[in-house]
Amino acid sequence: MSQIPFRYDQVGSLLRPVRLKKARQDYLDGTITKRQLTEIEDEEIIAVIEKQKEIGLKAVTDGEFRRRWWHLDFIAGLNGISVFDFKTSAFGIEADAQGSYVSGQLSFNANHPFLNHFKFTLAHASGAVAKQTISGPNMIYLDAVILSPQYHAHPVYSSTEAFKGDLIATYKEAIEAFYKCGCRYLQLDDTSWGALIDGRFRELIKEKGFDPDNLIQEFGDITEAILEDKPDDLAVTFHLCKGNFQSHWLYQGSYERIAKRLLSISPIDGFFLEFDDERSGSFEPLKYVQNKKIVLGLVTTKKPELEDKALLEWRIRSAARYVPIDQLCLSPQCGFSSTQEGNKITEEVQWAKLRLVKETAEEVFSKPVRS
């Protein structure tokens, strides 16, 4: 079994430093150039990579410092995608947001900016593994097709099967492109699965003429298909949380409904799953895990309070009732800054939580297994 995911790991996004936030606003205001913004991004990314290595993380990211959104920046860089602005209250707060819809034939953009972004991370990750995160394919299927009024008003494809064929081909090309850039740790962030367990979103899906239970199988099939040519030395993980926007969540419900199909996706090396509060339900759905690693997201990124180490150990050993403990890992439940605004915590708390993950994992996984 691959070392990836690591026994202590992270999801990917990190709080944007004040200097970076200011630079991004200055660029939008026209007071600095794109080149100047990029120089500041580069400097802050180098600094945050060094901080991750200082803490002892084995996998480092660029903190997603060049993105506005955890998911949309990657999707918007593909061919056949249009982006629009709107207001949302879906997370319980009023906020400016952006969405996407399929407006043309999908294909991978060979000049996708994320490729050079990864090369930069890789060049500065020496001593650690450079981890690349991208949004999973079903984010496009759900948001940019199934739930998209724009797409339904002007459908691009004559059939869902034709769309899925191009979606799969697009992601296969993307994975190959990252691999050629030197990526050996790729993570698919795909919260679309959360809509299949949340009662309100299941009804919205039905209203659009789709069966959410059938989509469970389809989402799994699509994810398997994009990975069927995955090189043996490329580790791919899958992250599912239930929404993370300025410390607010979107979906709720147990993994039970989706676990059997999700956890059987054969090319995935490990699953990052959110278990930081009661919305996630019990560990029982982990009974479907076979030869896969499960990264328990027990440390919340939404609240500043530090978790109790003894309680974290108890929860890890509770999960070990369903999954052998040598297949378990520990991480925060999500990124700290899925959007450029970030969650309602400080950078000091962020680093304290990552240290807690490392210290807890080292202590728990070094102990003998108790029967």
Q: Is 142 exposed, middle or buried (0-12, 13-18, 19+ CB in 10 A)?
A: buried
**Rounded CA gap, 124 and 347, in Å?**
21
- 146-155 average pLDDT score: 96
Tell whether 272 is covered by a domain: yes
Tens digits of residue pLDDT in 336-360: 987 777 678 999 999 999 999 999 9
Instruction: Round the CA-based radius of gyration of the chain to a whole number and report it.
Output: 20
- 22-47 average pLDDT score: 97
Tell whether 9 is covered by a domain: no
Tell whether 8 is covered by a domain: no
Q: Which domain holds residue 63?
A: 18-366
What does each C-alpha distance from 371 to 292, 304, 367 come to in angstroms?
A: 21, 34, 12
**Rounded CA gap, 47 and 38, in Å?**
14
User: Does residue 220 contact residue 262 with C-beta atoms inside 8 Å?
Assistant: yes
Tokens found for residue 276: 């930081």
CATH code assigned at 90: 3.20.20.210
Q: Which residues contact 227 (CB under 8 A, 6 or more apart)?
A: 175, 236, 265, 267, 268
Q: Is the pLDDT of residue 133 over 70?
A: yes
Tens digits of residue pLDDT in 162-221: 999 999 999 999 999 999 999 999 999 999 999 999 889 899 999 999 999 999 999 999
Q: What is the pLDDT, as a whole number, of residue 236?
A: 98
Query: How many domains, the chain?
Result: 1
Q: Phi and psi (nearest 5°) for 48?
A: -75, -30
Q: Phi and psi (nearest 5°) for 82?
A: -115, 145
* Its pTM surpasses 0.85: yes
Q: What is the pLDDT, as a whole number, of residue 113?
A: 97
Tell whether 5 is covered by a domain: no
**Rounded CA gap, 303 and 300, in Å?**
6
User: Does residue 205 contact residue 195 with C-beta atoms inside 8 Å?
Assistant: yes
Q: Is the pLDDT of residue 253 over 90?
A: no
Tell whether 6 is covered by a domain: no
Q: What is the pLDDT, as a whole number, of residue 249?
A: 47
User: Does residue 291 contact residue 1 with C-beta atoms inside 8 Å?
Assistant: yes
Tell whether 4 is covered by a domain: no
Tens digits of residue pLDDT in 45-93: 999 999 999 999 999 999 999 998 888 999 999 999 999 986 765 555 5
Tell whether 3 is covered by a domain: no
Q: Which amino acid is present at 167?
A: L
Q: Which amino acid is present at 292?
A: K
Tell whether 327 is covered by a domain: yes
CA atoms within 13 A of residue 136's CA, in its CB half-sphere: 26
